[in-house]
Amino acid sequence: MPEYAERFRAERFRECLLAWYDANRRDLPWRESSDFYRVWISEVMLQQTRVEAAIPHYLRFLERFPAVGVLAAASESDVLAAWSGLGYYSRARNLHRAARIVAASGTPDSFDAMRALPGAGPYTAAAVASIALGLPCAAVDGNVVRVASRLSNDASPSESPAVRRRFAELAERLLDRSRPGDFNQAMMELGATVCLPAGPRCAACPVEAFCAARAAGTQETLPARKPRAEVRQVALNLLLRVRIAPGGSREVFLVRRGGGESRLAGFWEPPSVEIPPDGARRIGVFKHQIVNDRFQVAVWLHPDPLVEPLPDGRWFAAPELSAVPLGGIARKAVASLEKAGDTPLFDIGQ
């Protein structure tokens, strides 16, 4: 009877979590009521913003715009001014647009209606729907992803949409349908204060007994992320042939690994160069790296032409260079070369 056992476990989980929440819940300004407008404003403010940072702005904002009608009637610049210091100003612009929609057509009464408002994604729609409307929607923010990954001891990369869906389904299964708003806030508060990214305080955790990661001792390693793009530390040289003048194409140089431990470590840079006599004028600065077995090339236009033979004169074949995925910078550089009448040809030296 695995289903029955599962249901029983989920029920116990809810009891433990909510008992902990009831005993430890913080008094926050937006918890004084479950008023839709106040909950909504707080959830938008709390996107990418810490509770402590949001509180003073929240209080000021509500004083300035005490009800949705006031917000809807305000000018955008007034709203932006009240938002100043919070960052991500598109949140304020979306909120303002959404306020006009709510003022005109009424408070949303479902997850879908909430989700349709500008600035309300899956998280915000679920949070407001559960806290203000009492609807059984699981709100999955970064905290909940961390808690869910540890409860299930699931080391799949947490930024993949499919994996996030799995964690959301777990949260949905655990959700207390009679107190969805409290349950969601309890999960998030657990993640923020106990189930910490580093150094989780398992001894203080109300649901330790339900945690598969804790049982396996893997809690510190979760949630897992996509494997870091791997830069192969191999002396690969890339030959680019660039058509420079009406005369034809010219082979140009290449690149060596950039040094240092900085952001550019692992990229490849051209050696210092001299200007060739034939007036080759516009050669890019090239950086490339092997990322997950794919060649990536970035090309910067450089005011000074550069050409230099490789010191050792050796070339290595780069696989499928003509199919190299160019990043945004490289595409811009190539487009710029083409606009200037120079057709870049990519070729493989050997």
Q: Which residues bind DNA (CB under 7 A)?
A: 47-50, 52-53, 85-90, 94, 118-125, 141-143, 145, 160-161, 197, 262-263, 327-328
What are the phi and psi torsion angles at 57 (to 5°)?
-65, -40
Joined tokens for residue 273: 């160069």
CB of 84 or CB of 178, closer to DNA: 84
DSSP output for 93-141: HHHHHHHHHHHHH----SHHHHHTSTT--HHHHHHHHHHTT--------
Query: To the nearest whole angstrom, how small is the minimum distance from the Cβ of residue 229 to DNA?
Result: 8
Query: To the nearest whole angstrom, how small is the minimum distance from the Cβ of residue 299 to DNA?
Result: 15
CB of 3 or CB of 52, closer to DNA: 52
Q: In this structure, how many other beta carbons lie within 10 angstroms of the beta carbon of residue 170?
A: 20
Query: To the nearest whole angstrom, how small is the minimum distance from the Cβ of residue 112 to DNA?
Result: 13
Joined tokens for residue 200: 């989780």
CB of 248 or CB of 260, closer to DNA: 260
Strand order of the sheet with strand 240-245? 248-252, 240-245, 344-346
Catalytic residue among 43, 52, 189, 230: 43
Query: To the nearest whole angstrom, how small is the minimum distance from the Cβ of residue 283 to DNA?
Result: 24
Joined tokens for residue 90: 């598109």
- Whether the CB-CB separation of 58 and 139 falls below 8 Å is answered with no
Residue 62 has, within 13 A of its CA and on its CB side, a CA count of 16
Residue 15 is among the residues annotated as catalytic for this protein: no
Query: To the nearest whole angstrom, how small is the minimum distance from the Cβ of residue 101 to DNA?
Result: 12
Q: What is Dmax (Cα atoms) for the chain?
A: 83
Could you list the active site residues? 43
